[in-house]
Chain A
Amino acid sequence: MSQDSRPESRTAPIIGPGHTFGSVTDKISAVVLTGKTPRWWFVGFAISFSLLMLFLYSVAYLLTEGIGIWGVNIPVGWGFDIINFVWWIGIGHAGTLISAILLLLRQEWRTSINRFAEAMTLFAVACAGMFPLLHLGRPWLFYWLLPYPNTMGVWPQFRSPLIWDVFAVSTYAIVSLMFWFVGLIPDLATLRDRSPNRAGRFIYGMLAMGWRGSATHWHRYETAYLLLAGLSTPLVVSVHTIVSFDFAVGVTPGWHATIFPPYFVAGAIYAGFAMVMTLAIPLRKAYGLEDFITARHLDYMGRVMLATGLIVAYGYMMEAFMAWYSANPYEQFMITNRFFGPYAQMYWSLLVCNVVVPQLLWFRKVRATVPLLFVICLFVNVGMWLERFIIVVTSLHRDFLPSSWGMYHGTIWDWTTFIGTIGLFLSLLFLFLRFLPMISIFEMRTLVPEAEVKEGVL
Chain B
Amino acid sequence: MAEFSEPNELIAAVRRAREAGYRQLDAYTPYPIEEVSEALGFHHNRLPLLVLIGGILGGLGGYGLQYWASVIEYPINVGGRPFHSWVSFIPITFECTVLVAALTAVLGMLALNGLPMPYHPVFNVPRFALATRDRFFLCIEGTDPLFDRDTTRRFLERQVPRSISEVEH
Q: A178 touching B106 by the CB < 8 A rule?
A: yes
Interface of A is mostly: helix
- Please indicate the chain B residues that have their CB under 8 angstroms from the CB of A20 in the complex: 134
Q: A216 touching B106 by the CB < 8 A rule?
A: no
Q: B27 touching A215 by the CB < 8 A rule?
A: yes
Q: A453 touching B113 by the CB < 8 A rule?
A: no
Whether, in the assembled complex, A37 has its beta carbon less than 8 Å from a beta carbon of chain B, the answer is no
Q: B28 touching A155 by the CB < 8 A rule?
A: no
State whether A224 and B118 are in contact (beta carbons under 8 Å apart), knowing that A155-B73, A214-B28, A215-B26 are contacts in the complex.
no
- Please indicate the chain A residues that have their CB under 8 angstroms from the CB of B37 in the complex: 215-216, 218-219
Per the 8 Å Cβ criterion, residues 86-134 of B in contact with A are 88-89, 91-92, 94-96, 98-99, 101-103, 105-106, 108-110, 112-113, 115-120, 122-123, 128-134
- Please indicate the chain A residues that have their CB under 8 angstroms from the CB of B73 in the complex: 153, 155
- Please indicate the chain B residues that have their CB under 8 angstroms from the CB of A178 in the complex: 102-103, 106
Q: In the assembly, what is the distance between CA of A111 and CA of B85, in Å?
A: 43
Per the 8 Å Cβ criterion, residues 170-208 of A in contact with B are 171, 174-175, 178-179, 181-182, 186, 189-190, 192-194, 205-206
- Please indicate the chain A residues that have their CB under 8 angstroms from the CB of B33 in the complex: 215, 218, 451, 453
- Please indicate the chain A residues that have their CB under 8 angstroms from the CB of B120 in the complex: 210, 212
State whether A189 and B45 are in contact (beta carbons under 8 Å apart), knowing that A147-B69, A164-B92, A442-B30 are contacts in the complex.
no
Q: Bin the interface of chain B by size.
A: 35 or more
Q: B32 touching A210 by the CB < 8 A rule?
A: no
- Please indicate the chain A residues that have their CB under 8 angstroms from the CB of B42 in the complex: 215-216, 219
State whether A453 and B11 are in contact (beta carbons under 8 Å apart), knowing that A3-B5, A22-B134 are contacts in the complex.
yes
- Please indicate the chain A residues that have their CB under 8 angstroms from the CB of B35 in the complex: 453
Query: What would 7 A/B residue contacts be, using CB atoms closer than 8 Å?
Result: A190-B132, A209-B118, A210-B120, A220-B109, A227-B105, A238-B98, A446-B32
Inter-chain pairs besides A1-B162, A223-B45, 15 sampled, C-beta below 8 Å:
A3-B6, A25-B133, A154-B74, A158-B69, A167-B92, A171-B99, A174-B103, A219-B32, A219-B45, A224-B106, A231-B101, A231-B102, A238-B91, A238-B95, A457-B8
